Amino acid sequence: MDNLVEKDLKYIWHPCSQMKDYETLPPMIIKRGKGIYLYDIHGKKYMDIISSWWCNLLGHCNEDINNEIKEQLGSLEHVIFANFSHEPAIKLCEELLKILPKGLVKFNFSDNGSASVECALKMSLQYQYQTGNSKKIKFMCLSEGYHGETIGALSVGGLDLYSKIYKPMLMNGIVRIDSPDCYRCPYGKCRDCCSVECFCKVKQAFEEFADETCAIIVEPLLQGSAGMRIYPPTYLKKLREICDQYNVLLIADEIATGFGRTGKMFACDYAEISPDIMCLSKGLTGGYLPMSITVTSQKIFDAFYDDYNKGKAFMHSHTYSGNPLGCAAALAVQKVLREQNILENARETAAYLHEKLSETFENHPNVGEIRHIGLINAIELVKDKKTKESFDPRLRLGYQIYKKALNLGLVLRPLGDVIYFNPQLNITKAEVDEAVRLLIQVL
């Protein structure tokens, strides 16, 4: 069995990895999963407290989802989605309509998060063009944002770690606005007691560039890859208003936040807003199959609807658009969310988890902040609690913690020096206790 590791290293170039690191930390070969646990070929058990890159929503090998996929597999695995359709896709749209913010009624399917962002960007530019605003060709985004790794998505991201080397390939005309930073607030305020003073940066950008801007893309409330940075709903509310004022489309990237991750079905629900376009993926299929949807309004759809020869169609496609197996998984997820009271229970477990982490780690000399929304809890480690000075990134503190945690059977994947929990929504309190117990040992 061990030569699976050798063969893996011989053949596979793993994502987002310095492969040299694998000399000292070879890949764990996972044989099976159940609930929040993964089991490797030697039977070692790992607690997947990060939901396998935030996508596993309802546990590994969830029987309800397995069964629906198996049933679908017996009748149709895939079909071209241009001119053809199928019941699982249609039913899924009907189900999503019931939970999405008002006005989001048209569904464009892709096969991963980045692809749905690309779709949203192209849709925005073409919408503006076809409604008489051909000068609106820029995009706005937040400085610490993350929207995926393809060229358009990287262009509207703000994390150098992923994009710096590719700058010569990235799109021009990006207006990057300083993100809210509630832990190190430049206005000396705190997350719960501010008047979103930082929104002045948005105002400035809109005053200067809105005439040339077709859309702004944001991760609503939670900038995940930036270290689970959380900002207040008022910021989003104001963003909706200013977008309306200047005819700039609001794209909400809910790829990481959607389907209950933040405690509500969508992060936008906290601000009670509807974006013009919403990107969905990850939890959409419970983390089972690669699928994404770019959802938009009737108004945007109508701007593309005309006689073929007018050339207004959205000529955008992916081979696996609307894959029936993905749709079956997504339908099963909706059923489980609805019938098993998942969000309500998750809210209770979230309160329990946060309390537990706070009482255990708040006074740790290197814990700067424990921020949380829904079940997501992030612990930012700092060198100096008072000044909030970070550790030298060359120490790779987060990576050392990652390795130590793995030894103990806990899958963390810190973002820099931010350790976080982003577990499955149906994690139990006993499992929370176990995760916290392991984290105490690690820290």
Structure tokens at 25: 């930390």
Q: Which is nearer to ligand PLP, 283 or 436 (CB)?
A: 283
Distance CA 12, CA 197 (A): 47
Binding segment (CB under 6 A) for ligand PLP, from list 30-38, 71-79, 107-115, 378-386: 107-115
Q: Which is nearer to ligand PLP, 253 or 369 (CB)?
A: 253
Number of DSSP helices (H) and strands (E) in the chain, helices first: 15, 16
- Scan for tokens 């405690």, then name that residue: 263
Report the 10 Å Cβ neighbour count for 190: 11
Candidates 62, 112, 213, 294: give the one binding ligand PLP (CB under 6 A).
Answer: 112
Residue 110 beta carbon to ligand PLP: minimum distance, rounded to whole angstroms? 9
Quick one: CA torsion of 125, 129, 133, 135, rounded to 10 degrees? 70
Interface with ligand PLP, residue 51, by CB under 6 A? no
Residue 146 beta carbon to ligand PLP: minimum distance, rounded to whole angstroms? 6
Residues 328-350: b if buried by 16+ CB within 10 A, e if exposed: bbbbbbbebbeeeebbeebbebb
For 252-302, the DSSP string reads: EE-TTTTTTTTSSSSTHHHHT---SEEEE-GGGGTTSS--EEEEE-HHHHH
Interface with ligand PLP, residue 113, by CB under 6 A? yes
Interface of this chain with ligand PLP, residues 238 to 267, rule: CB under 6 A: 253, 255-256
Phi-psi region of 189 (alpha: psi -120 to 50; beta: other; left: phi over 0): beta
Which phi and psi angles does 356 have, rounded to 5°? Answer: -60, -45
Q: Which is nearer to ligand PLP, 240 or 413 (CB)?
A: 413
Q: Which is nearer to ligand PLP, 112 or 285 (CB)?
A: 112
Interface with ligand PLP, residue 219, by CB under 6 A? yes
Report the 10 Å Cβ neighbour count for 15: 7
Q: Which of 349, 371, 384, 356 is nearest to 418 (CA)?
A: 371
Helices (H), 261-386: 268-271, 298-302, 324-339, 342-361
Residue 69 beta carbon to ligand PLP: minimum distance, rounded to whole angstroms? 19
Candidates 110, 124, 281, 285: give the one binding ligand PLP (CB under 6 A).
Answer: 281
x/- binding map, residues 332-371, to ligand PLP, per CB under 6 A?
----------------------------------------
Which phi and psi angles does 363 have, rounded to 5°? Answer: -90, 5
Candidates 148, 233, 283, 416: give the one binding ligand PLP (CB under 6 A).
Answer: 148
Distance CA 410, CA 180 (A): 31
Interface with ligand PLP, residue 324, by CB under 6 A? no
Residue 130 beta carbon to ligand PLP: minimum distance, rounded to whole angstroms? 26
Interface with ligand PLP, residue 118, by CB under 6 A? no
Binding segment (CB under 6 A) for ligand PLP, from list 35-43, 95-103, 218-226, 237-245: 218-226
Residue 155 beta carbon to ligand PLP: minimum distance, rounded to whole angstroms? 13
- Report the interface residues with ligand PLP, using CB under 6 A: 112-114, 117, 146-148, 219, 224-225, 253, 255-256, 281
